[in-house]
């Protein structure tokens, strides 16, 4: 089998059995990246020297008999994670020259397990976008059809998994930015519960919503990655100090008797017929496996996108105030301080980022704060209460990830509102702060992947992974590969 097609658990077995070294595996991945990158554009920075050095170290560990699940596994991470000594752009021109002085905890945790960094992945600028078209470093293409978007904002993270340029990747999810690209690229993507994974060293977009998570080829790999990432971090005061279960150990418990909720607001008339068909088939599969279905309602679903685009933009306008050209990043030539701020920001930020900063500034501005920002925070409470009530009766929820398969490059770029509405099924989960995973569940007539979303209770990742694993064992969608 080609190394680049392997999962974490397959490559781990090969490394542990000394059939292959990490240096060989890493070299094979670097070759693969070189071969397909011109067609996909998943990476902003490839780091071959770092990768081979880390792989060499991993091989020493393996020779000493210390081969953990991630030891020597070549991974890539979204360019939103700070990596000490390696340029980190967050997809923005304003950080084109930024070399972080420290690393994100999540990435450090993977390094501590012996993982190998292949490079930094393309993304929408500051994670603002659903198509990767807002990156200042070119648009990543969908490996299943390069005229289509890969989804966003972790588009590079999903495309790299689908194009087999990395064994697994890291992304972030503020309104669907892991799950939507995972769905569009046919891979597994998990947004953990808010507080489950440290965000220290992750460039902030909307701090009350941002969360770190893995994108992988299958659910078993997802469990491995989450196990390595999860846990309290003293450097992130929003990370929660609750025990981390052994996600891999409980994967195969099955779904017999599991109560799965079907929120009626997610099965709307506008749903693409291929997506509807995939959901119907998935429901049949789960029934056959012994799960019970319950019709539920999340009555405030229709207000989630509006709520999100007030809260997220307000938080973004505040978080992005730090890019002023003083301490790091792009600085424009100017005669005075105010002019330097304004020019540096105007030259450094792209259109979507400017638009969101403007919206957020407006929502927080004098006279509008209560009508927009506080109102949205109150509606957020209603949306959270919807989930709390519904979860009193069910263990997980099953929904589509996106209303349509991947759309064409350029199709929605000039209509931001239409672009925002493509996140309608993923946004409520971030507002409620709970966890959800996208897993491959079929293909459209045009051959594009379709994902299904399993939404769990807060800190209910174990159940979500079990439900995903059971589906994966009963289907073969996740084994299909994009021909690229």
Catalytic site positions:
78, 153, 177
Residue 432 interacting with other proteins (CB under 8 A): yes
Region near other proteins per CB under 8 A, out of 50-58, 124-132, 247-255, 305-313: 305-313
300 binds other proteins (CB under 8 A): yes
Using CB under 8 A, which residues numbered 69 to 98 contact other proteins?
97-98
Residues 178-207 that bind other proteins (CB under 8 A): 193-195
The one segment of 52-60, 219-227, 378-386, 403-411 that binds other proteins by CB under 8 A: 378-386
Q: How does 120-153 read in b/e, with b if 16+ C-beta sit within 10 Å?
A: bbbbbbbbbbbbbbbbbbebbbbbbbbebbbbbb
Residue 331: how many other CB atoms lie within 10 Å: 18
> Hey, which residues between 101 and 120 contact other proteins (CB under 8 A)?
101-102
Among 114, 155, 329, 451, binds other proteins (CB under 8 A): 329
Residues between 122 and 181 with contacts to other proteins, criterion CB under 8 A: none
Q: Segment contacting other proteins (CB under 8 A): 30-38, 266-274, 295-303, 462-470? A: 295-303
Task: State the Cα–Cα distance between residues 312 and 169, nearest whole angstrom.
Answer: 24
Binding residues among 411-430 for other proteins as defined by CB under 8 A: 416-417, 420
Calpha distance 236→173 (Å, rounded): 17
Provide the minimum distance between the beta carbon of 123 and other proteins in the complex, in angstroms, as a whole number. 20
- Residue from 1, 2, 65, 237 binding other proteins (CB under 8 A): 237
- The residue from 337, 388, 446, 474 that contacts other proteins (CB under 8 A) is 337
270 part of the interface to other proteins, by CB under 8 A: no
Interacting positions 443-472 with other proteins (CB under 8 A): 458
> Looking only at residues 27 through 56 of this chain, which bind other proteins when binding is defined by CB under 8 A?
none
Q: Is the dihedral of CA 420, 422, 427, 428 positive or negative?
A: positive
Site for other proteins in 340-359 (CB under 8 A): 340-343, 345-346, 349, 351, 354-355, 357-359
Whichever of 307 and 438 has its CB closer to other proteins, that residue is 307
As measured in angstroms, the least distance from the Cβ of 130 to other proteins is 14
Tell me whether residue 259 or residue 375 sits nearer to other proteins (CB atom): 375
List the beta bridge partners of residue 260: 293, 396
Of 191, 193, 233, 231, the closest CA to residue 214 belongs to 191
Contact call for residues 45 and 79 (beta carbons, < 8 A): yes
Q: Within a 10 A sphere around the Cβ of 49, how many other Cβ atoms?
A: 8
Binding residue count for other proteins, defined by CB under 8 A? 73
> Using CA atoms, how far apart are residues 158 and 188, in angstroms rounded to an integer?
9
Q: Give me the helix-helix angle, 219-229 and 105-112, nearest 10°.
A: 110
Instruction: Select from 35, 374, 388, 446 the one that contacts other proteins (CB under 8 A).
Output: 374
Q: Does 252 bind other proteins (CB under 8 A)?
A: no
Q: Shortest distance, CB of residue 447 to other proteins, whole angstroms? A: 33
Taking the complex as a whole, the smallest distance from the CB of residue 201 to other proteins amounts, in Å, to 12
**Position 238 contacts other proteins (CB under 8 A):** yes
Among 99, 388, 446, 474, binds other proteins (CB under 8 A): 99
Positions 306 through 325 that interact with other proteins (CB under 8 A):
306-307, 309-310, 317, 321, 324-325
Nearest partner of 266 among 293, 291, 294, 298, judged by Cα = 298
Single residue of 146, 362, 403, 413 touching other proteins by CB under 8 A = 362
Asked if 293 is part of the footprint of other proteins (rule: CB under 8 A), the reply reads no
**Taking CB under 8 A as the rule, does residue 331 contact other proteins?**
yes
Q: Are 182 and 451 in contact (CB under 8 A)?
A: yes
């Amino acid at each position: 089998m080609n190394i680049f097609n392997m999962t974490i658990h397959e490559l781990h077995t090969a490394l542990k059995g000394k059939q292959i070294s990490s240096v060989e595996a890493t070299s094979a991945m670097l070759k693969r990246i070189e071969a397909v990158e011109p067609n996909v554009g998943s990476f902003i920075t490839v780091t071959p020297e770092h990768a081979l050095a880390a792989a060499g170290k991993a091989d020493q560990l393996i020779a000493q008999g210390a081969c953990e699940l991630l030891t020597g596994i070549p991974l890539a991470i979204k360019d939103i994670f700070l990596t000490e000594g390696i340029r980190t752009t967050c997809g923005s021109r304003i950080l084109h020259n930024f070399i972080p002085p420290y690393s994100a905890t999540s990435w450090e945790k993977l390094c501590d397990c012996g993982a190998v960094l292949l490079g930094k992945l393309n993304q929408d600028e500051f994670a603002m976008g659903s198509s990767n078209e807002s990156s200042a470093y070119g648009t990543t293409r969908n490996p299943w059809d390069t005229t289509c978007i890969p989804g966003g904002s972790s588009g590079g993270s999903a495309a790299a998994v689908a194009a087999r340029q990395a064994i697994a990747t890291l992304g972030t999810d503020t309104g669907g930015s892991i799950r939507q690209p995972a769905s569009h690229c046919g891979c597994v993507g998990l947004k953990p519960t808010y507080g489950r994974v440290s965000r220290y060293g992750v460039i902030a977009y909307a701090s009350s919503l941002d969360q770190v998570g893995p994108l992988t080829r299958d659910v078993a790999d997802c469990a491995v990655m989450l196990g390595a990432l999860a846990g309290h971090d003293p450097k992130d005061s929003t990370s929660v100090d609750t025990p981390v279960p052994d996600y891999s150990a409980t994967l195969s418990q099955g779904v017999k008797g599991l109560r799965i909720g079907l929120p009626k607001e997610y099965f709307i008339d506008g749903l693409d017929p291929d997506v509807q068909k995939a959901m119907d088939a998935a429901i049949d599969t789960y029934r056959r496996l012994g799960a019970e279905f319950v019709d539920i309602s999340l009555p405030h679903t229709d207000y989630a996108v509006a709520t999100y685009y007030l809260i997220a933009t307000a938080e973004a306008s505040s978080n992005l105030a730090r890019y002023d050209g003083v301490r790091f990043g792009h600085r424009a030539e100017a005669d005075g301080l105010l002019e330097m701020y304004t020019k540096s920001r105007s030259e450094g930020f792209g259109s979507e980022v400017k638009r969101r900063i403007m919206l957020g500034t407006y929502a927080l501005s004098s006279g509008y704060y209560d009508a927009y920002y506080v109102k949205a925070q109150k509606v957020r409470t209603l949306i959270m209460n919807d989930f709390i009530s519904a979860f009193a009766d069910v263990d997980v929820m099953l929904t589509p990830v996106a209303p349509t398969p991947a759309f064409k490059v350029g199709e929605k770029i000039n209509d931001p509102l239409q672009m925002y509405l493509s996140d309608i099924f993923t946004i409520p989960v971030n507002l409620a702060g709970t966890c959800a995973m996208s897993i491959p569940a079929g293909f459209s007539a045009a051959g594009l992947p379709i994902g299904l979303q399993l939404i769990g209770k807060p800190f209910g990742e174990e159940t979500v992974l079990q439900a995903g694993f059971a589906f994966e064992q009963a289907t073969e969608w996740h084994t299909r590969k994009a021909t690229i």
